Structure 1
Amino acid sequence: MTLASPGPGASPAALYPRTLSSIAILVGGLAMFLMFASWVLVSYRVSSTVHVYFYGFEKKVDVSQSHSNETNIKDFVDVIGRNWSSGLNLEVRGAIDQNVSARKSSGLVSNSSNGSQIDSTASPPRGEGKDGSVAANVKEDVENKKVDSAGSPDKSDGGDAGSGDANKTGESKAMATAPTVGSNPTKTGSLVSGCDLYQGSWVSDSSGPLYTNNTCPVLTQMQNCQGNGRPDKDYENWQWKPSQCDLPRFDAKKFLELMRGKTLAFVGDSVARNQMESMLCLLWQVEAPKNRGNRKMQRWYFKSTSVTIVRIWSSWLVHKTTEPFASAPAGVDKLHLDSPDEYFMDYIPDFDVIVLSSGHWFAKQSVYILNNEIVGGQLWWPNASQPMQVNNVEAFGISVETAVTAIVTHPNFTGLTIVRSYSPDHYEGGAWNTGGSCTGKEKPLAPGELVKNGFTDIMHQKQVTGFNNGLKKATNKSKLVFMDITEAFGYRHDGHPGPYRSLDPNKITKRGPDGRPPPQDCLHWCMPGPVDTWNELVLEIIRREFEGNESSISNN
């Protein structure tokens, strides 16, 4: 068969009339569609509607609560906003003060606050400044106020944050905390089926711990209280009991099954390591993992379910350098408070669950940098006559906002982030290096006995503020949870190693003739001990997320 060829005078356009007419129709139709779409976008707030549909909030994050509490979250956020603009001289409303006092007298450890909304207009996030960055908005804040250098901790003390009076940077007259919320329409939080996991009390449990110092080979010696000779064991026999439900004991098989094929990462300082080792000890009772770690991170692999537990050291959660910077000499840590720590951020696309925590390193010597300018420091400030713009407490809050913002805006992270709240210490009568002690504490404080720690309260408050400010900037599909353990663990002065920090048979464990206590650790937690409860909470949060928000725990 032979195909006919066009004549030498034939027009190319005449060969394809149908094709050209079809193209003309399509182009005309597309033009009409674009004109119509432009009119719709100008006339209606389509972008806002889409944003609310995917992320569950526009300017307000709805937080429903099914139990009665009288402190309003909007009031609390307003208090936070006013505290930021007025420095550290906290003026907390009388209504909040009365409600906190009422909860104390009721004998319940309560970290929840009532209210249906967190109103962003009450406390504008610093991320909504002229250029949308943390640095720009913090700079706007500090230009409108100066933090009195007298409000910063005693510069002669280099101990851990919260370690007694020497490190306090002001006191909060009363404390209310924001409840846990999710950055997506599915809100993974503390309040499910009427149960707030963080409101409750410690109850005696004679069943004892799920592991011992002899059944966990990865336990750091400083937290091996029984192995180091601590004579009492009752601190191991207490369980956290939420007021309206039961928190199940840790089920290692359940955890591994829920996390099948997934990775959980603990990111933070030595207290984060404390929690990671607790998790490993709990899981080790059903399966011994393989060590696949390296110099960059600890990594443990559970072959039966392909679960990986990771730990990454990030003491500040923000970018740190030691090189000279302006007037700050080499060797001093410089913290770029508006830049997240790239050391862990590089890995987060590989993680399914992140447990983020920090705070105690902000008592150590460091220089604070925002927008490439030195704005403050801890145990370092070259000009005493020039007040700092940012002290260590505010630096902590900014660092939390920076880290949370980086996670919830990361284009390749869709997992669950659990921000564990500030872990209280119990150095009574001084700081870690000025005679503070937790020696002889053998039981939790009873309801009503908790003495408020002003430094712990304000660190917790700044952490909540940073969390909320970061949450408001969420753009990805990840989930975010605030695991609020601070007040509940304020009752556990018995859970620290104290003087039982080593195997040294000659260590001093009693007060001297002059009454001075021996060197001790009242910051980290004995293992086994109260720290295991953190991972029971982590398991319950993960269960609610992976199995849905219907709570399976029994209500009273």
Structure 2
Amino acid sequence: MEMNSTINNKWRFCTFASFIGCIILLFCLNQGQERVKLSTLGNIGEPMALHNDSDQHSAANIQLLQPSNTIEYGKEINVEEVVDDGCNIFDGKWVYDPMTSPLYNGSVCPFLSDQVSCQRNGRPDVEYQKWSWEAKGCKIPRLNSTDMLERLRGKRVIIVGDSLNRNQWESLACLLYTAIPSSQAQVHVRSGVYKVFRAKDYNCSVEFYWSPFLVELEVNGEGGRKILRLDKLSASARKWHGADIMVFNTGHWWVHTGKIKAWDLFEYGGKVVEKMEIESAFEIAMKTWAGWVDKNVEKTKTKVFFRSISTEHKGKQWCYNESKPSMDDQSYASTFPHSIVEIAERTVGGMGAAVTYLNITKLSKYRRDAHPTVYTAKQGKVLTPMQQTQPHSYADCSHWCLPGVPDTWNRLLYASLVFDNSRDAFTS
């Protein structure tokens, strides 16, 4: 009897141990499945790889770019959330936003010029990259590069104007480049006068054409003198035809004087004159451009933008050694002639719905911290250490570091496209 009892106790113990073992095994299997699920979700949420064969990127840098490559606004857009006919996306404030800014890492853009590659040129601070523009009274969609590429599928974008529009082209090309494999991107650069970025899978292109006056400047005119032809568009205009999105600017070169003035003579109506009020010459040129748009742009197919003056920071508002935006509306007094701005606004306003005025002047005026200053290139050469110690002679307070302010210009360009499409959907 004692032996049978001992055997029974052992069987009970084995049965109990087996039962406990089964529970433990089932628990482990379940945890393994959960780990698989979590791992899968982690892969979905990881930032898109940045493609540049010559660069190795740290995990910190890749993580920094994650927000621009996840579908926050690229998903099905809530029309009721973003559509507000009373919203002015150009009026607002800069907000420190290190979690989502900048929108890309400048080191992944192999075509970024030395003129605006501030980090590559030795700028020691990065805080200027971490500010985001917020509009008053509405939400601006964050620029999603993949969504923008989808919107541009099969389309041409042309950006025409001076070096500030070239600044904008470099920004937009970098924004789109970070969203695709490098093997699917083509970049062709011919000095500073023509640049094109193509995304092959999307069959789209972003092209830059150098034309600081929009009208023709003949550099070897009568007697070797430079003639600004006010009633004739620049030669590159023949390549503007057929574009789906056009972004123009002019104004900065019109106010140059002395040695940096680009022309010697004006020509208008077949007559060559040496002297003319700049406002009169500028207005004739703007009307020449507006006439071309009215005559050559198919308004149901093409969206035309005219970008406003990009603020310089010179004199009392000097940009050197600034590290954060100004928050005071009264702290900046523009040195740019108001008459030129007024003519541009009047011309664009008179074109009705044909042209959208991309008014980036106010948001740019707060950002004297975001210029290249001495971390730039002059005449194609990066400033030497000795030149960097002479900011009064070499600081660039006109162009913008990238990543930087022009990314916001392109974000507002993107927002304009989103809002237009959303309104169409909302009203159809």
Displacement of 1:206 = 1.6
CA contact (8 A) 2:93 2:135 kept: yes
Displacement of 1:437 = 4.2
Matches within 5 A, 1:405-420: 405-410=291-296, 414-420=301-307
Matched, 1:524 2:399: yes
Displacement of 1:350 = 2.3
Matches within 5 A, 1:34-73: none
CA contact (8 A) 1:460 1:486 kept: no
Displacement of 1:533 = 0.2
Q: In structure 2, what is the Cα distance between the partners aligned to 1:282 and 1:257?
A: 13
Give the counterpart of 2:267 among 365, 369, 372: 369
Cα deviation per residue 1:36-70 (whole Å; 9 max; x = unaligned)? xxxxxxxxxxxxxxxxxxxxxxxxxxxxxxxxxxx
Matched, 1:425 2:312: yes
Give the counterpart of 1:356 among 224, 243, 248: 248
Q: In structure 2, what is the Cα distance between the partners aligned to 1:223 and 1:294?
A: 16
Cα deviation per residue 1:415-474 (whole Å; 9 max; x = unaligned)? 111101111111125xxxxxx9421111111123432214253332221123234x16xx
* Amino acid corresponding to residue 207 of structure 2 in structure 1: V
Which structure has greater helix proportion?
A: 2
Displacement of 1:375 = 4.3
CA contact (8 A) 1:441 1:494 kept: yes
SS at match of 1:343: helix
Displacement of 1:353 = 0.3
**Partner residue, 2:205:** 308
Given the superposition, is the C-alpha separation of residues 214 and 454 from structure 1 closer, same or farther in structure 2, using an over 3 Å criterion? Answer: closer
**Partner residue, 1:398:** 284
Give the counterpart of 2:354 among 455, 461, 479: 479
**Partner residue, 1:333:** 226
CA contact (8 A) 1:204 1:239 kept: yes
**Partner residue, 1:205:** 97
* Amino acid corresponding to residue 402 of structure 2 in structure 1: M
* Amino acid corresponding to residue 358 of structure 1 in structure 2: T
Given the superposition, is the C-alpha separation of residues 303 and 316 from structure 1 closer, same or farther in structure 2, using an over 3 Å criterion? Answer: same
Q: Percent identity?
A: 27
CA RMSD, Structure 1 to Structure 2 (Å) = 2.6
Given the superposition, is the C-alpha separation of residues 239 and 211 from structure 1 closer, same or farther in structure 2, using an over 3 Å criterion? Answer: same
CA contact (8 A) 1:544 1:550 kept: no
Matches within 5 A, 1:106-117: none
Matches within 5 A, 1:113-512: 192-207=84-99, 208-287=101-180, 288=182, 289-291=184-186, 293=188, 295=190, 297-325=194-222, 329-330=223-224, 332-344=225-237, 346-362=238-254, 363=256, 364-366=261-263, 367-376=265-274, 388-391=275-278, 393-410=279-296, 414-429=301-316, 437-469=318-350, 471=351, 479-502=354-377, 503-510=382-389
Q: In structure 1, what is the Cα distance between the partners aligned to 2:297 and 2:179?
A: 36
**Partner residue, 1:543:** 418
SS at match of 1:423: coil
Given the superposition, is the C-alpha separation of residues 323 and 270 from structure 1 closer, same or farther in structure 2, using an over 3 Å criterion? Answer: same
CA contact (8 A) 1:437 1:517 kept: no
SS at match of 2:336: helix
SS at match of 2:241: helix
CA contact (8 A) 2:83 2:423 kept: no
Given the superposition, is the C-alpha separation of residues 320 and 246 from structure 1 closer, same or farther in structure 2, using an over 3 Å criterion? Answer: same
Any gaps of 5 or more consecutive residues in structure 2? Answer: 1-81
Given the superposition, is the C-alpha separation of residues 440 and 297 from structure 1 closer, same or farther in structure 2, using an over 3 Å criterion? Answer: closer
SS at match of 1:533: helix
SS at match of 1:239: strand
CA contact (8 A) 2:84 2:138 kept: no
* Amino acid corresponding to residue 506 of structure 1 in structure 2: P
Displacement of 1:546 = 3.6
Given the superposition, is the C-alpha separation of residues 456 and 492 from structure 1 closer, same or farther in structure 2, using an over 3 Å criterion? Answer: farther
Given the superposition, is the C-alpha separation of residues 191 and 315 from structure 1 closer, same or farther in structure 2, using an over 3 Å criterion? Answer: farther
Given the superposition, is the C-alpha separation of residues 294 and 230 from structure 1 closer, same or farther in structure 2, using an over 3 Å criterion? Answer: closer
Q: In structure 2, what is the Cα distance between the partners aligned to 1:191 and 1:467?
A: 23
Q: In structure 2, what is the Cα distance between the partners aligned to 1:292 and 1:496?
A: 25
CA contact (8 A) 1:349 1:412 kept: no
CA contact (8 A) 2:160 2:249 kept: yes
* Amino acid corresponding to residue 123 of structure 2 in structure 1: R
Cα deviation per residue 1:329-349 (whole Å; 9 max; x = unaligned)? 31x3211112222422x1233
Q: In structure 1, what is the Cα distance between the partners aligned to 2:336 and 2:425?
A: 37
CA contact (8 A) 1:192 1:550 kept: no
Q: In structure 1, what is the Cα distance between the partners aligned to 2:404 and 2:166?
A: 15
Given the superposition, is the C-alpha separation of residues 529 and 351 from structure 1 closer, same or farther in structure 2, using an over 3 Å criterion? Answer: same
TM-score by length of 1: 0.55
Q: In structure 1, what is the Cα distance between the partners aligned to 2:388 and 2:376?
A: 10
SS at match of 1:281: helix
* Amino acid corresponding to residue 290 of structure 1 in structure 2: A
Displacement of 1:292 = 6.1
Given the superposition, is the C-alpha separation of residues 549 and 240 from structure 1 closer, same or farther in structure 2, using an over 3 Å criterion? Answer: farther
Any gaps of 5 or more consecutive residues in structure 1? Answer: 1-189, 377-387, 430-435, 473-477, 552-556
SS at match of 1:197: strand
Cα deviation per residue 1:192-234 (whole Å; 9 max; x = unaligned)? 4321111111111122202122111111111011111112211
CA contact (8 A) 2:374 2:383 kept: no
Q: In structure 1, what is the Cα distance between the partners aligned to 2:139 and 2:360?
A: 16
SS at match of 2:388: coil
SS at match of 2:170: helix
Q: In structure 1, what is the Cα distance between the partners aligned to 2:197 and 2:329?
A: 41
Q: Tell me the matched-pair count.
A: 330
Displacement of 1:241 = 0.8
Given the superposition, is the C-alpha separation of residues 201 and 457 from structure 1 closer, same or farther in structure 2, using an over 3 Å criterion? Answer: farther
SS at match of 1:223: coil
SS at match of 1:203: strand
CA contact (8 A) 1:394 1:462 kept: no
Displacement of 1:323 = 3.8
Displacement of 1:543 = 1.9
